Amino acid sequence: MQYDEGVERWSPASVAARLDEITMRASHWVRRAHWLCLLSESTLVWDKTALAFENGRIYRRVELTEGDTVPAPRGYRKPFAERRRTFDIATYDRLTVLTRELRALVAPVKDERPVELYIAACAPVHRAKLRMTLRWI
């Protein structure tokens, strides 16, 4: 069988490399989907502002004062299948922009303003953990 010049020939090594690349990309997208589902039902606190999300949309904004409790995300107990059903392109875009802004908020800078993400009723994810997590998303 003749091959045209410039056409890639498959070898066991090239097939293995391609499968490795596909697996890495797929695992990234699975992690990202999981993250966006978590973010869709969360509360973000930075400085003294709390933004509560439900179905990937802001449903409540609160200016916190000393001693205030952070509003728990209303849908944090929703199963992931139910969370995925609420996604549309606008929700995906919103949460992708929020993820980008979170990266900027937790980036190492001189001004280390408090940043917390509540994905459950208690135990926030703090700046350092968010920074580490967002490296994999």
The domain locations on the chain are 12-134
Residues 6+ apart with CB under 8 A from 8: 14
Q: Please tell me whether the overall predicted TM-score, pTM, comes out greater than 0.85 for this model.
A: no
Task: List pLDDT tens digits, range 76-129.
Answer: 899 999 999 999 999 999 999 999 999 998 988 766 778 999 998 778 999 889
